[in-house]
Amino acid sequence: MGRQAGVAMHITSLPGEHGVGDIADCARNFVDQLVELELGVWQMLPTGPTAYGDSPYQPLSAFAGNPMFIGLNPLVRAGLLDAADAAAMRDLPRDYVDYGRLIPAKQALLDKAAERFISHTGHGLGADYDDFQHRYGERWLDDYAIFRLLKSMHDQRAWPEWDQAYVHREPAALEKLRSDYRLDIEKIKVTQFLFEHQWQQLRAYAEDNGICLFGDMPIYIALDSSDAWAHPQRLLIDRDGQPSHVAGVPPDYFSEDGQLWGNPLYDWDYHRETGYRWWIERIQHAANQTPLVRIDHFRGFEAYWSVPHGAKTARDGQWIKGPGDSLFVAMREAMGTLPIVAEDLGVITPAVDELRENHHLPGMVVLQFEVGNDDFDIASVNENSVCYTGTHDNDTTLGWFHSNGDDTRSPEEIAQNQAGALKHTGGSAETLAHDMIRLAFSSKAALAVAPMQDYLGLGSEARLNVPGTTLNNWRWRMQAEQMRPDVTESIRSLVREGGRCKKINGRIK
């Protein structure tokens, strides 16, 4: 790809008129904007269907798409919705995502569109839908559709709390369900097809415009997911869905008690015995969505933090050896070059570095974590890496620099970070967001990325997520008017100054 500059921007944060960003008109408009800004890579968070807390890192499926990201305007153009249906969604806020209002309102419209899709053939997508079912039905789609139906029948409770016949997937109970709720199951499948159809149109549009989509994959799956329900043998859980140990990380930068994620841990012996088939399918599916994918918490493949189920914090966990090289050897034998960036942040040991380097996977450098260190040198950033100002888990660069009442750092650490940021950027407190972007762009890293909030010079009010909390996250949305002409020109200047202008058809744009 050459030296590239990118932006981190989740789908939810895209500007638009229907309460949340979408993968249709909103995303295509953003691709057009990236072309104008001369940014070549668009990194986004996981796009799976979310549940409690709205976190993209706790999806209800490792393969399905989030229905909330389906664009309504294409459904109107296809005759699957009336214009008045989409217009009613304009009453939702534009500056943040109101999930409580968004989800029921949009789901009702998607159900209506799916019913019209099933009952009419004028949309011309019947053959594509049949192919979609053929490719994904047995792999994940059939189980996912039944899982979502059963969640709605059990007031959205987690599957270990369902009626025992469904918890244990008794064949007679599931067969009766398929017969009695055939239309409801079909609507869920159609909705997934509409997501996939719009997604592949977005990917093609991005490629035509020289934009590389960069996805994100959580290392763990949620206990409350169709994958865990349909295939509990892949995880360290009993037949009732109860784990003995769960995932997390020890005390770190974000939390003095560590982070207790609660995800079930993998039965790595099972995966090894099956040739890591499920993992290969998962990576192949991700690569079909985006040409590049970041795997969150890469260090968990070398060793993972195992916490007894029921513990109040992650302090009492222990490191357990992961699958190591054998997993990535199996992936490479199946796929060749792996389209993976390793999120190698946190407690990184020489063994973790060795695992990543053995398979030539780029790692990550986050300047907010580095500039306060006395021995940091931007010249030491490796070419085979992605250099960030901050990530979705950090405060914005301005918010981080000025600090606020929620900061987990000590006053001494804040002062050290501030001094280091000014020293390494040679900038000022007023211009620090762009100064840090300039520093990232000056590195040897093949790809340098900044969150859109940093390009816009926003403070803590625009923070997307605070790790360890479940309220008021994943809500920030960009406003179209924030991309003023002077901001556009400033971003282009940063890209050009850093020698990271994207190439289209072999020519510098």
The pLDDT of residue 409 is 87
User: Is 395 labeled as catalytic in the residue annotation?
Assistant: no
The pLDDT of residue 507 is 40
Average confidence (pLDDT) per 10 residues, the chain, 509 residues = 91 97 98 97 98 93 98 97 96 97 98 96 89 97 98 97 98 98 98 98 97 97 97 96 94 80 96 98 97 96 96 93 98 95 91 96 97 95 97 96 86 95 96 98 98 97 90 96 96 96 50
Report the distance separating Cα 21 and Cα 477, nearest Å: 8
The pLDDT of residue 503 is 56
Q: What residues have CB less than 8 Å from 367, skipping those under 6 apart?
A: 387, 388, 389, 390, 424, 436, 439, 440
The pLDDT of residue 147 is 98
User: Is 296 labeled as catalytic in the residue annotation?
Assistant: yes
Q: Per the residue annotation, which of 25, 38, 393, 395 is the catalytic one?
A: 393
Q: Per the residue annotation, which of 22, 216, 227, 343 is the catalytic one?
A: 343
Burial of 174 by CB count in 10 Å (0-12 exposed, 13-18 middle, 19+ buried)?
middle
Measured between alpha carbons, how far is residue 353 from residues 360, 370, 486, 501 in Å?
10, 17, 41, 30
CB 391 within 8 A of CB 436: no
Which pTM does this prediction carry?
0.95
Q: Per the residue annotation, which of 296, 395, 435, 454 is the catalytic one?
A: 296
